[in-house]
Structures are given as C-alpha cells and as structure tokens.
Structure 1
Amino acid sequence: MAMRRPSIVIFCAAAIVTISMGVRQAFGLFLPDMSMGLGIGRSDFGLALALQNLLFGLLQPITGALGDKYGAGRLVVAGAVVYALGLVGASLASGALGLYLSFGVLVGLAMSACTFVTVLGAVGRVVPPERRSLAFGLVTAGGSLGQFLVVPGGQLMIAELGWRMALIGLAGLISVMVILSLGVAGRPQLPAESGRDQSVRDALREASGERSFWLLNAGFFVCGFHIAFIGTHFPAYLTDKGLSLATGANALALVGLFNIAGSWFFGIMGDRWSKKGLLAGLYAARSAVMLAFLALPLTPVTALAFAGAMGFLWLGTVPLTSGLIGGIFGIRYLSMLYGIVFLSHQVGSFFGAWSAGLMFDLTGSYDSIWTASVALGLFAALVHLPIREAPVARLQPA
C-alpha cells in the first residue's frame, strides 16, 4: 500500500466500522416488529442473526488473507454493496426463509469484508508497534460511535416509517462506505520485520503450534457470545419486563457511547500494561456487572446503568486481542490470523444469538442464558492468564 498519512487511514477505517457495526447493532430493535410482521418466533429471528454471525466468522480468515494480499479498499466496496442488498432483501422478506437469506447470508457475507479484520490490517501497517494498540482502540471505538449514533436513528425510523422502510434507509447509509474505502485502498507493502518472506502455510503452522493462539480463540468465543446475546435480545428482554422499546434503544446507544471510552482506554492501556492481564480483568468485570444487574430491581435506571458498564467493557477486547496477535506473530499476516480468532468470536455470537432465542421460546425466560453468560465470563478470565505475550522465536533478536 502506498504510504498514507496514518491519520487518514485511521479515520477512514474508524468511519467504516462506525457505519457497518452501527447498523448491525440496530438489528435487535427490529425483533419485536419483524417477529409480528412476519409471523415468526424469536428463535427464527435469533437464528437469522446467528447464521449472519457464523458466516461472518467463517469467511474472516479468507477475507483477512485477501486483505493482506490485495488491500482493504476493494473488500470494503464489495462488502458495502452486498450489505445494502441484504438490508433491501430483509425489507422485502415475507417469512423466516427470506430473513435467513437476507439478514443471515447476505449481511453475514458483507460484514466479513467491511469490519475490524479487514481494516485493522491496513491500520497496523501504517502505525509503529508502540502505538498500534491505541490505533486499534480508536478504530474499535468507531463501532461504538456507530452504535451510539445509528441505533437511536434506527429506532426513530422504525417508529416513523415502519420496519421495512427503516431497513431501506439503513441501506442508504451503508453505501457511504464505498467512498470511505478510498482511505484504506491500495496494495499492501510488506512490513519491515524479520521473517517477512514467511508463506501463508508457514504462518498458519506457526500459529497453530502456539498454545497462546488457541487460548485467544477460547476467550474471543466468550466475547462473541456476550455481545450477540445482549445486542440481539436485551431490548426484547427489557420490553418483556415492562420497560419501553425506547429504553432498549437508549440502552444499546449507551453501550456504544461508553464503549468509545472503553475502547480508547483499553487501547492506551494495551500499549503500557500486560494485554493478557487486561483481558482477564475485562472478562471478570463483565461477569460481575451481569451479577449485579440481575441482583438489583429492574428499572430504567438500572437498565441504563448496566448498559453503560457493559459498554465500557464491550469491545475493549478487540485492540487487546488483535494487539496480542500482532505482538506475538508480527503483522505480515495479522488480518488472516486475527480473522481465525474472530471466527471463534463469531461462533460464540452464533450461540449467543440463537440459543437465547431458543431458550426463550422453550422456557419463556432468558434466565439460563444470563447464568451461562456469567459462567463464561469467568472462564474467559482464567484462560487468558497462561498466554505468553513474547514474540515467537522467528521474531526474536538473533
């Protein structure tokens, strides 16, 4: 990639994530109206988003490798076009099958090309290693800014225009990413680091032989489970308990607002402190926040307080996890290796979105999923402790 000013690459990457993730985080608001309008259960809606998350993850190693080879710009354009088609398709759906194909297949395909894995590789090549975690944190904060800005707009469009036209409006917003792709476009240059001629096969073999790589996969599975469960079902959970849909929308917006601060904070701290220690503390804190929320009476105040606390812990995992991968294995194949770890995240997202809807349809309650979420947070905190943060032998000084 021809050398660009890091500020331009970071800004465009953050804006791309702002739009793509902001629209994605608004999907939970459509659950009540779409379930009634299409005559489907929450498990059907949850399965559509679960398929989206799973496909999103399955393609990440492939799109990551393509980004490492050809650059992020082309992938973002392709992703934006397919994303818009998926939203238009969902607006025309007449049943569960249409939702699976649009929200599930098309949007899942699109997001694999225009979110974190693709753009973080472009950012990682234009910032020095000592500032990389902060840069990743700033891009990650873009996803939260999108949640803060887009989710309330989505709720307003649903209320004023209905859910079908709201999806058309969001498709128009997605098209802006085509312009932003110019900021991350270009053919990547090889980074100046030892082992730069390493092949894809060698990189995969090296990573698969490191226990730390698999521990990162296990932890990111939990992150995906938490985010998909809360992002998809939390507004419905609140309305089930007698709170308004507006409270659910405000809660998701607060998650985004507080994660701007959280992503920035963990990005800075990742350049100063142990990334694995920060990750262990973050996951343990998630479990503590969920336990406190469940123990307190549910009111609009406690719902919004929970959203703010979880928001601070929401995507701070991204700069820390991607930073660990770059620090351990180098950045030549950062997008591909992070794509593999992100696949684990999306497998967790599949189960978080689908199992929550399934258990609600079976039991009329989300209680079992809340319990599982707390337990998984504690598990993730423990599996990060044995990670070895030092670079692999290939990158060690002679």
Structure 2
Amino acid sequence: MRVLGMISGTSHDGIDVAVVDFSRTGEVLEGRVGHTASTPYPEELRARLIAALPPAPTTLAEVCVLDTLIGQRFAAAAAEAIARGGPVDLIVSHGQTVFHWVEGAHARGTLQIGQPAWIAERTGVPVLSDVRVRDITAGGHGAPLVSVLDGLLLGGHAGGAAALNLGGIANMTVVREGALSAYDIGPANALIDAVVTSRRLNERGFDEDGAIAASGRVDSRLLEVLLDEPYYRLPAPKSTGKELFHLEYVETALARAGLRGTVGDADLVATLTELTVRTVADDVRAAGVSALVVSGGGCRNPVIMRGLRAALPGVEVAPSDAYGAPADDKEAIAFALIGWLTAHGLPGTVPGGTGASAARILGTLTPGAGPLVLPAPMTEPPRSLVLTR
C-alpha cells in the first residue's frame, strides 16, 4: 500500500511530504521511502498565518480563509508529489496546527486547518485528516504522534534509545526495556524563529546553520529566568506549543530579568539556543538512554548539535537518517505510517506516548473520486518497522 504523508509543523514554514510503500511480512512492516519534498509556504501566506496565531486576536472569517488557502497549498503539494513519485492509495494530511488547547496539564482540544476536501478534489485520492483529536478524546495529548514510529524503529535498541524531534517544539520518545514514553520537552526553534523573524535578522526567518547564535554569547541571567518556566517541571505525558512559547514570552522573560533593551540580537539568539540545548539534555540524562536519534530542522543547527554532544558525553547523538528516516522527512513518514495503520483498522497511538487511556484508530476520512475501498483489516499490529530508500 502506497501512502503519501503530509505535514506542516510548528515552525509554520511549509509542507513536508513523503511517499512510503508499505508491505508486511509476519511481524515486520517494511516501508520503502520514495519521493520526499518540502514546499515552503508563499511569504504572504506564512505572514498571514503567523499574524493569526495566539496570542494575536483573529476572526472566524480569517480562520475560514486560511483553512481554504492552506488546504489549496496542501492539494498542490500532494498533486506534485504524485506527479513525481507515482500514484498513491491514500493521502494523510496532518494540516497546520493553529491552536493546541491545554489546561491544567490536560489537552482539551486541538485545531489543525487545511481543508482536506481540496486535496481529495485535486488528486481523486481519499484523504485521512484530523489525526490528533481522537487521542485527546481518550484522555491523551494528541502528541507526539510520531512516537508510534519511534517505538517500531527503536524497540530493539540495546541500552535504550530516545528519538528527539527538533521542530518548533522539541518532543522526545523514550524506548527502553519494552516500554515507551513520549512528551513535548519545550521550545526547539519556536522562540529562536520568533526573534529572527520579528527583528528581521535574516531573510530566512530562522537561524540558518546556527550562524547568529554562534556569533553571540549566552546571557546567564536571562537563561536562568527562561529555565524557571513551570512547564519544564510538569510530569510526562505533557504537550505544549506556540500558545505558550511565542515572541511575547521572550519579551516578558527579558523584562523579568531586567534586561529589556540591553541584550543584543546575537546574544538573545545564543541564549534561546542554549535554552533548547539545556532543556533537552536535562531530559535525555533523566531518561538514562545510550542513544539519541535526532530529526527535524533543529538537527541542521550545528550549535544545537554541538551543545547536545557536549552536554551528553555518554550518549551517542546521531540524525535519524541512520535508521532509514531522513531527518527532514521523518514526521511526514510518521503520518504515512499512521495512514497505513488506520487503513488496516490498527491503532495509530501508543498510550505511553500520549497519555491516553488506550490506543485509538486515528483520523477522519474524506473519499476521493471513486468508492472508498480499504484493505482487509488486521487484528495484530506489526512489532517492528524497517525503512529503506
């Protein structure tokens, strides 16, 4: 079964796609990764999306417009992926998260936009969407859903392993001795990107190659204030997002530290980068694993990666490419996997990964051009996953 996975993450920078051809032999699921790509949002659309995100006020009219515009961009990306990678049986669209509602350490709801009907109409292929909310209805956080992929990939790793995704938010899956846990650690690139964008430090909207951070110095007083965030002390499972970690959060921290207007741009980016390193390294040490498998845009930031290796001398730190999941494409591959699981009547969550009361089959299906035809259901999930190119 060929599945196209699609996602725009918490960096809100564009759409990642991956076509995966799945086949199962006994307890092993094999996935051959075919076409992968990343399509940036047009600058005007990204700016409009960011302007509508919390804590900024917005209107239902703007949400409706963005739902359509983003759905059309996803449809175009899907059509391009099919043209380049060949026909697919199912498309899984995560869409674009615009709000993740957490109160009292519990997820109450989540909203992803990018109307899937545009994708189904453009491609004629059935689309699975709204993949997070079913887990929330079962008491979970709806995140990190990539933990189902991590568990299958890393379950046999001696000494335990952790899979770290460094997108806008850092999330980690810990797999050891047959048990799995997962949660959002805190900001990875979210605060860095917010400062780079708002202060127009470059045209990319992120700290390319960590160049800005490398030119600055960490402000210890500001870092101390940032590390005092109560979220870090919450027990797992837990989830967070840009509802908490946004530009105003940085400005508030500067004010609390008595440093507003006194910290240079490069020093501020260096300090926010060190915040990511420190919070991630603390949690990896607490997990007691021997390997850290890293994916997401942050793994292309040498300042973050050097910082993690220096802070974790007893841990092997490597990108997820070594496990067949290219670091830039892993989340899209994960959602393709969730699509395969749903199509076969299998849960796409691990309760230890999201905190749900039980595993759930995920998503809402939008039919394509013809009758909706699903494979024969399976009663037992695969025990492991092997990815190849």
Q: TM-score, normalised by structure 1?
A: 0.28
Structure with a larger share of its residues in helix: 1
Structure with more relative contact order (C-alpha pairs < 8 Å, separation 6 or more): 1
Q: TM-score, normalised by structure 2?
A: 0.29
